[in-house]
Structure 1
């Protein structure tokens, strides 16, 4: 099964390259699983309770609790379907199990230096784990694509929004 633009929650479903697997780190998988559990065991039952109470109050056409509750319930159900799909097709990659630690692969934490001498650290993660502000970059991003298979001492080039950039690979770690 491959994910596409017709997923239940397209805003939260970054497009994957055609035919690719849905890679995710163990931490990312556990976060998605915890979110699903929270939605199923806590949030959804609470909203169902509010909707039931609001429905018992009579006229539903002008009942804000009922209208909002039903809308929130649809959002929760859509997110639940999305998470179930993602967890079913996930290929969990444990960075610490990587045997070829001399090259950059999925899960690697890479220290780089740019043209100005500024060092940055990035970890290559799954599309639903990416958070550039925390140095977590999706494996399908231009930067990650440039880093993949590189070795310490290599210089990689990639197109960024600010133009062509070069980075020197200083360190590769799997943790």
Structure 2
């Protein structure tokens, strides 16, 4: 079984989504199917087909979440330290071309959100950063072409 690394916050979010889908969303969909059935002929009932599709999507996501929760390897970032970048690190970078400063935390695939400054451990930028230290320069093969960054700060928060 391949473990899935994630932070405690990411694990809590997955468990909350799983709880919501199992206890609230599942019940809402069952009620929608029941309501649509009461409208008669199911073969031409768009509400019924829509509710059944929603049920299928919800059950699929429940299965996916159960698998992720079972395989989760929760890493307590507060116990991490060191001078090298690894999972859970918060890294401040300076773009060598534009002098723009960016801050990212390296997290698991399921909790990545670039807009919030959380990048996936499997992203090109995270892979380039792993094992580097403050003061190092990295080149990232981004979709828009290669980008150079200098690492200016590293913390485990």
TM-score w.r.t. structure 1 length? 0.84
2:150 match? 168
**Cα-Cα RMSD:** 1.3
Q: Confirm whether residue 111 of structure 1 aligns to residue 79 of structure 2.
A: no
Q: Deviations over 1:88-137 (max 9, x none)?
A: 0011112111132x111101110011112211001101111111222211
Change (3 A) 1:99 1:173: closer
Gapped regions of structure 1 (runs ≥ 5): 3-20
Q: Deviations over 1:123-163 (max 9, x none)?
A: 10111111122221111111001111111111112211222
Counterparts of 1:28-39 in structure 2, within 5 Å, are: 28-39=10-21
Give the corresponding residue for 1:81. 63
Aligned partners of 1:42, 1:149: CA distance in 2, in Å?
43
Is 1:57 the counterpart of 2:39? The answer is yes
2:130 match: 148
Shift of 1:165: 1.8
- Write the deviation string for residues 63-93 of structure 1: whole angstroms up to 9, x where unpaired: 2221111111001000000000011001111
Q: Could you tell me how far apart the structure 1 residues matched to 2:117 and 2:155 are?
A: 14
Q: Give the secondary structure class of the aligned counterpart of 2:110.
A: coil
Q: Which protein is richer in helix relative to its size?
A: 2
Q: Secondary structure at the match of 1:82?
A: helix
The residue aligned with 1:6 is none
Structure 1 stretches (4+) deviating beyond 3 angstroms?
A: none
Aligned length: 156
Gaps of 5+ in 2: none
